[in-house]
Each structure stands twice: as C-alpha cells, then as structure tokens.
Amino acid sequence: MRQRVASPPIITRINLTPIIDVALVLVIILLVTAPMLTVINMPVALPQARTREAENQRNVSVTLGADGRLAVDGDLVQKEALRARLAARLAEAGNSDVLVVIRADSGTRYAAVRAALEDARAAGAKHLAIATRQKLRESP
C-alpha cells in the first residue's frame, strides 16, 4: 500500500512585504540625501545674522567662494556666464517667482557680492536674499 505524501501548498500570490520595506528604505535615503545635493561642496564661511527666514523656501542658490569661484545650484560657472545661467534657471517652469539666495564666504569682497546681486536682478530675479549663519544669543 502506498502512502500519499502531502505536497506543500502552491504559492499563488507575491509577498509584498519585502518590496514595501525596500521602497520605504529608498524613500528615507532620498529624503536624507536630497538636501545635500542642492549645495556645492565649496567651503564657505557665511557671515552672522540674527534671523534665518528664507531657509525653508524653494530657492536658487548662488555660491561665491573666497577664492572667487562661483556656483549656481551646485554647478560651477564662470563670472561671465552667471547672468545667462541664472536667466536660464529662472526661465524654467515654476521658477519665475523663486527666491535667489546669495551664499558668499565672509572673506569675499563686497564688490563681488554686489555684482552677483546685480547679475541676479538683471537675470530676472524678483526676490533676493543673502545667506548668513545664525548668531547665537549671548547669555546676560
């Protein structure tokens, strides 16, 4: 007499739990790394101020290094190409009313900062700001 061996049940559905776990990990990685991708890795010592109101808004970042290098949203540009690059960036869909933030090293000459502000205004920027480090309040 033969005994019948029970066969394991056939899997008819895909287990979605591992797929969801991987997707959530990827979303978390994206959320953590996205803010780091918008600013170029150029050392800049920002001047100090008491407020930082424009930090959380969507903006276009212009970085001026102490050595004279310029970057727009992380891409190095020449001084002569700054106005054209900003105009192209501001002409993109949804960027017509965006804030242009000038991030200048505290050792940068005022003339360079003024020239960057003038180029931004000439490129069509309606809102301008200068990035600063927040000054900590001193205890009395």
Domain presence at residue 116: yes
Measured CA to CA in angstroms, residue 108 lies from 43, 78, 136 at distances of 12, 16, 23
23 domain residue, yes or no: no
How many folded domains does the chain comprise?
1
Look at phi and psi of residue 118 and say left if phi exceeds 0, alpha if psi is from -120 to 50, else beta: alpha
80 part of a folded domain = yes
pLDDT by residue, tens only, the chain of 140 residues: 677 777 888 878 888 899 999 999 999 998 888 777 666 666 777 666 555 554 445 788 888 888 888 888 878 888 888 888 888 888 887 777 788 888 888 888 888 888 888 988 888 888 888 887 766 665 55
Q: Identify whether 63 is part of a domain.
A: yes
CA dist 79 and 91 (Å) reads: 19
* Residue 25: predicted pLDDT: 95
What's the pLDDT score for residue 43?
72
Residue 130 lies in a domain: yes
Q: pLDDT value at position 106?
A: 80
Does some domain include residue 30?
A: no
Domain assignment of residue 98, given as a range? 54-134
| Within-domain flag for 26 | no
Helix (H) or strand (E) holding 17: helix 17-37
Q: How far apart are CA 38 and CA 36, in angstroms?
A: 6
| Contact (Cβ atoms closer than 8 angstroms) between residue 90 and residue 123 | yes
In a domain, 120, yes or no: yes
Q: Which pLDDT value is given to residue 78?
A: 86
**What CATH number should be reported for the domain holding residue 94?**
3.30.420
Handedness of CA 36, 132, 92, 117 (dihedral sign): negative
Longest dimension (CA), the chain: 100
